[in-house]
Structure formats: structure tokens, C-alpha cells
Amino acid sequence: MLRLSPAPLSPPLFSPSFWLRNPHVQTICGARWVSVPRPVWRQEIWASPDEDALQVERLTGAPDRPVLTLFHGLEGSAESPYIRTLANAAQALGWSVVAPHFRACGSLLNTRPRLYHAGDSPEIHWILQRVRAEFPHALRYAAGFSLGGNMLLKWLGEQGDDAGQWIDRCAAVATPFDLTAVGDHLTQGLNRFYGRHFLTTLKAKARAKHAQFPGLFDLEATLAARTLRQFDDHCMAPLHGFRDAGEYWERSSCLPLLPHIRCPTLLLQARDDPFMPPHGLPSRHALPPDVTLDFQARGGHVGFISGILPPRADWMPVHLLNYLKPSPPSSQMCHNPSE
């Protein structure tokens, strides 16, 4: 059972077992080797404002408890271990959970001539609008992971003071704040493994979308892409109104918008995240008071896996829910003594 405590005055340190100290082991273990029970989802299909279809997974909590909206990462879904573990933990508190799949993720291929992309703030906005309409009197929280974290933070920065209409507190984990820095970093050394892994499923989506709309983009060049930059040049950028990958990454990165966030928000990052070059991370001094930057020495990319055998994924959900859940005014904000 997950044990939650009042929000800490300083963030607890994540300390993995000796065999989990390598960041690549953390990353792969978090994605592949951790066994997380599948929530008993209730699936819905939501119609988007542009008349597309979105697959959404739901957990129903107590009527007087908060609702938590979860945004998955690149090529993730509601079945990703990090979504499952946080959904299970929130359900144990009696919370409701909304876990949307971005366009063409999950088991549903969307019907419009587009996919999902890193800068899609309107997507975040209408989802959170719908959640507020359904839960007008509940505390409403949101958490985004990796690419979903970038999308959530970009929306928060663009909304500024208005974000409080829709959401009370947020968390973002392993966020690619600077998409250009991260995209280029994934072409170097062992990190190329992750880029190639993403390309496998992204190309399958591109092939399916091109079958729906022949000639929509250059399929041959897209399938020949060897890096995420090349893929985004030929597929993602033209599909979503960007000149090329360079413009897409620059305009979609949340980093320049972080100073405008006015909603209490936790940024949880591992310094050894193999996706993140140090120059792509934000500085504590550039962030507004409402944003808590929590750097952990280890954790990989959306890992934070502890234990020996079997490995466990319970540190991150406990940490996030301790931040999000209602707490006395004196402990509303966390502070990172290392910053």
C-alpha cells in the first residue's frame, strides 16, 4: 500500500538500489520491467472541437474528492507504467482519474489529417475545459510526463493567471523543456537507441495516417528518416503547420514560457536523465515562485524505480500525490535546498 504523508518542507531524496543506479537501467526498467497492475479503466470516446475522436480512460472516485488528469509522453498511452502507477495511487485516495490518449495513441486511429504534437496547447485546453465542466466543484489537478509534461507546461505558461480557472495544482515529470536540445541529444552515443525506438512506432503511425490521406506528406522521406529531426521535418512539421523541425521544436518548447506560470507546479527531474543535456534544463532562478524545481540525482527518464526484486515504481506517485493533495497552508509549497 502506498503511504502518503503531509507535503514535505523539502523534497525527499530518491535513492535506488545498487543495481538500479545506471540511468539507462532506470529508464528501461521503468518502461519495461516494472509490473504495475492495470487499472479497471472505463473507456470513453470524446469528440474534439475539430470533430476528431479521442480515446479517454476513466476511473471514478468519490464525489467530494479531487480529479486528476494525466498526460502521457511521446508514443505513450494510458497503459504506460507511469500512468498506471499514478492512476492506481490516486484511485486509492478516492480520486477520479482522467487519462486521455493524444491523437492516434491508444487503440484508436484518429480521423483528422493530423497526429499529436509537442506544442498542442489547444488540445490540453479543451481537455481541461471538459474536465472542469464535469467536475465544477472539485479540486482539479494535472500531471504530465515527458512530452505530455512539455505540453502541459506550455499551456500553463500561455494561460498565466487564467490557468486557475481550470486547474488547481500541476506536476510535470522528466520534461523535455528545450525540444531542440533534447532532439539533438538523442542522436548521440547510447541515446540513439531511444530515438530509434520512438521512430519505429512513429513511422507506423505515419504509414497509417498516409493511408487515410494519401499525399498528405512525403511518406517515402518519412519512412527513410534516421533521426527524430528528419522524421519531424518530413511528417510532424508539415502535418501541423510548421516550416520544418527546427521551427516546430522552437515554437513548441515550454522553456521560454516557464516564467509566466502562475499555478502551483512541481517540476520533477533526474539529473542523470539520458534524454536531457544539462544546457536544456531550467534554472531555479529563472522560475516564478509558484514553480518548484525538484532535481533528483538519479532516476533516469521517467524512471525513479527502487527496490531489489521485484523492482518497484512507488516513489514517484507518492512524491507527486504528496505535492498535489490538499495540505495545510504552511506547507503548500516545496523548496529544494540544493537550488
State how far the Cα of 78 lies from the Cα of 55, in Å rounded to an integer: 10
Q: Among residues 77, 80, 146, 253, which one is catalytic?
A: 146
- Please state, in angstroms and as integers, the Cα–Cα distance from residue 154 to each residue in 102, 150, 160, 163, 301, following that order: 16, 6, 10, 11, 20
Q: In 3D, which of 265, 263, 269 has the Cα closest to residue 292?
A: 265
Q: 247: part of which helix (H) or strand (E)?
A: helix 245-252
Answer yes or no: 77 catalytic: no
Query: Cell for 212?
Result: 487515410
Specify the long-range contacts of residues 203-207, CB closer than 8 Å, at least 24 apart: 203/231, 205/104, 205/109, 205/115, 206/115, 206/231, 206/235
Answer yes or no: 48 catalytic: no
State how far the Cα of 280 lies from the Cα of 334, in Å rounded to an integer: 23
Instruction: DSSP for 85-104, please give it.
Output: HHHHHHHHTT-EEEEEPPTT
Q: Which residues of 118-147 are buried (b: 16+ CB within 10 A; e: fewer)?
A: bbbbebbbebbebbbeebeebbbbbbbbbb
Q: Are strands 42-47 and 53-59 parallel, antiparallel or unpaired?
A: antiparallel
Answer yes or no: 301 catalytic: yes
Q: For residue 236, what is the DSSP state?
A: I
Q: Among residues 117, 185, 210, 301, which one is catalytic?
A: 301
Q: Among residues 272, 273, 294, 314, which one is catalytic?
A: 273
State how far the Cα of 287 lies from the Cα of 260, in Å rounded to an integer: 8
Catalytic residues: 146, 273, 301
